[in-house]
Amino acid sequence: MAGKIKQIIDVIISQRSKGNPAVTQALKAKFALKGINPDGYSAASADDQAVIGKLTMLAKDLGVSL
Amino acid sequence: MKTAYSEKNSVDNIVKDIKDSFEGSDAKAVMFFASSSFDPQAVGRQMQEAFPEASVFGCTTAGEIVSGKMLKKSVVAMAFGPEVLESVKVVTINDLNANNAVENAMSEFEAFYKEPVMAMDHERYVGIILVDGLSMAEERVMDRIGDLTNVTFIGGSAGDDLQFKTTHVFADGKACTNAAVLALFKPKNGFDIIKTQSFSATDKLLKATEVNEDGREVLQFNGKPAAVAYAEARGVSVEDAAGSFMSNPVGLMIGGEPYVRSPQQIKDGGMVFYCKVKEGMELSVLESTDIVKDTRLAVEAKKLELGGISGISGIINFHCILRTLELEGKGQTEEYGSIFADIPTIGFSTYGEQYIGHVNQTSTMLVFKGSK
């Protein structure tokens, strides 16, 4: 399976930024500083369970429900 | 927006100088940066007593900056009057290791502004963070702040004039260690941010394959002992690698811009940094450029963007001590100070800078816009 990571990242960013470009950029930087490069994943990226686990935790920290 | 400084050698005289300079300013807040050469408890108490109606806060430094000058063994201050500040709330985190320390601070902001921090408009509010520069807590605190709000917090890690013994933050007349001061501003005319670091990325990449995150150590880059991989990337011997640290730190590239992680020392083949590196992070080896030129360009570009010098009412400059050391080594401190000669500015040489996360060898600046 593929694409789950990008999908989760998109949901988190969309829910937190509500489409605001400045907040989107800040969130992307925040992801990278947390160790997940959001631009490094596409719809074709394999569903790495370790990364999905990290993103699930991150969503919880950010108050986002997946 | 007014700035003041004093290089007198007693706290009494310094506080008197600053009080006299701000006479009649009707300050809602007074922010100050003080050399650690002064008794911190006396500085904290007397600064608050001098401005009893204002929120007074600050920290100790490794050097100070005021409009047009870089100083040592001084105190610099900025008064925020009603013409620039709608409101301000200052909160102290007294114990950086306490559970829910950041959450509790955010609750205090919510109680004051009567609005959830998550719902606060990131264009109307801006936060300042000053944190104990020896606590190694900056990443944790910044990370949690960013979890809880979209409001930008920018700031610096307190210094102690390169003694590396104790740093202090000031608020409510007290000087605290293992603490942070958070100030949430609602500026009247808006604000902007400058983040500038004088490095360009090389094509050499180092992936952190084994780390001790809490110790800010990278044990392995690219599957090799970190010092060996770094030395190879630099084309130098491991013995000479530390000589490259200042001019060739590494950076996490985000949107084409480095978030600098500065190496501190080689330890048992690994490398200790001034901020955390996460396992799996891919870092670019950086090459230094000209601090004075780059900073001048960044400030001039912001002036232009905001409609000229009248578009800026003041700047707070959180300026890495490693940048200060480089400027001192090159005899460029006067030239650097002159960049801010025509702008009310205060700042200090930090033990780390805060913007979204914790960074090194950077200047993070809060720019207060002028009235239209």
Angle, helix A49-61 to helix A4-17, in steps of 10 degrees: 10
pLDDT at B220: 98
Given a cut of 70, is residue B264 above it in pLDDT? yes
Give the pLDDT band (50/70/90) at residue B359.
very high
Check residues B25 and A55 and name the one with the higher pLDDT. A55
Instruction: Count other Cβ atoms within 10 Å, centred on residue B101.
Output: 19
The answer to whether B281 contacts chain A (CB < 8 Å) is: yes
Which residues pair with residue B183 across a beta bridge? B90, B128
Q: Which of B281, B353, B359 to mutate to test the interface with A (most CBs of A within 10 A)?
A: B281
Contacts B138 to A, Cβ<8 Å = none
| Count of A-B CB contacts under 8 Å | 44
Please compute the mean of the pLDDT values over residues B332-352 and round it to a whole number. Answer: 97
Among A23, A33, A34, beta carbon nearest to B122: A23
Contact between chains at B254 and A62 (C-beta distance less than 8 A): no
Contact B300, B367 (CB under 8 A): no
Please compute the mean of the pLDDT values over residues B342-349 and round it to a whole number. Answer: 97
- Element containing residue B226 per DSSP (H, E): helix B226-234
The answer to whether B51 contacts chain A (CB < 8 Å) is: no
Given a cut of 90, is residue B320 above it in pLDDT? yes
Q: Is A12 exposed, middle or buried (0-12, 13-18, 19+ CB in 10 A)?
A: buried
Contacts A20 to B, Cβ<8 Å = 122
**Min Cα separation B279/chain A (Å):** 7
- Whether pTM exceeds 0.90: yes
Give the pLDDT band (50/70/90) at residue A2.
confident
| A interface residues, B as partner, C-beta within 8 Å | 16-17, 20, 22-23, 25-26, 28-30, 32-35, 37, 61-63
Closest to B108 measured CA to CA, from B86, B93, B128: B93
Contacts A61 to B, Cβ<8 Å = 147
Closest to B355 measured CA to CA, from A39, A33, A63: A33
Task: Please give the angle made by the CA atoms of B366, B67 and B19, to the nearest 5 degrees.
Answer: 95
Contact B87, B327 (CB under 8 A): no
Given a cut of 70, is residue B372 above it in pLDDT? no
Contact between chains at B150 and A16 (C-beta distance less than 8 A): yes
pLDDT at B137: 96
Smallest CA–CA distance from A38 into chain B, residue:
B254
Contacts B279 to A, Cβ<8 Å = 35
Among B118, B254, B279, beta carbon nearest to A32: B254
Contact between chains at A33 and B280 (C-beta distance less than 8 A): no
Please compute the mean of the pLDDT values over residues B342-353 and round it to a whole number. Answer: 97
Q: Which of B125, B211, B273, B356 to mutate to test the interface with A (most CBs of A within 10 A)?
A: B356
Given a cut of 90, is residue B187 above it in pLDDT? yes
Among A17, A20, A26, beta carbon nearest to B356: A26
**Min Cα separation A41/chain B (Å):** 14
Among B147, B280, B356, beta carbon nearest to A35: B280
Please compute the mean of the pLDDT values over residues B144-172 and round it to a whole number. Answer: 97
Max CA separation in chain B (angstroms): 62
Give the pLDDT band (50/70/90) at residue B88.
very high
Closest to B19 measured CA to CA, from B4, B41, B37: B4
For chain B, the average pLDDT equals: 97
Q: Is B186 exposed, middle or buried (0-12, 13-18, 19+ CB in 10 A)?
A: middle
Please give the single-letter amino acid code of residue B126: V
Please compute the mean of the pLDDT values over residues B24-44 and round it to a whole number. Answer: 96
Give the pLDDT band (50/70/90) at residue A15.
very high
Going from the C-alpha of B210 to that of each of B219, B259, B277, B367, the distances in angstroms are 5, 20, 10, 38
**Min Cα separation A18/chain B (Å):** 11
A32-41, B133-142, B228-237: least confidently modelled range: A32-41
Given a cut of 70, is residue B116 above it in pLDDT? yes
For B215, residues 6+ apart whose C-beta sits below 8 A from its C-beta are: B272
Closest to B169 measured CA to CA, from B183, B161, B160, B158: B158
Contacts B150 to A, Cβ<8 Å = 16-17, 23, 26
Contacts B143 to A, Cβ<8 Å = 33-34
pLDDT one-digit tens code per residue, B193-220:
999 999 999 999 999 999 999 999 999 9
Please give the single-letter amino acid code of residue B280: G
Among B118, B259, B357, beta carbon nearest to A63: B118
Q: In chain B, what percentage of residues exceed pLDDT 90? A: 98
How many angstroms separate the first and last alpha carbons of chain A?
A: 18
The two tokens of residue B85 are 């500040």
Phi, psi of B227 (to 5 degrees): -65, -35
pLDDT one-digit tens code per residue, B275-318:
999 999 999 999 999 999 999 999 999 999 999 989 999 999 99
Q: d(Cα B368, Cα B193) in Å, to the nearest integer? A: 9
Q: d(Cα B295, Cα B46) in Å, to the nearest integer? A: 34
Among B123, B255, B282, beta carbon nearest to A25: B255
Contact between chains at B252 and A32 (C-beta distance less than 8 A): yes
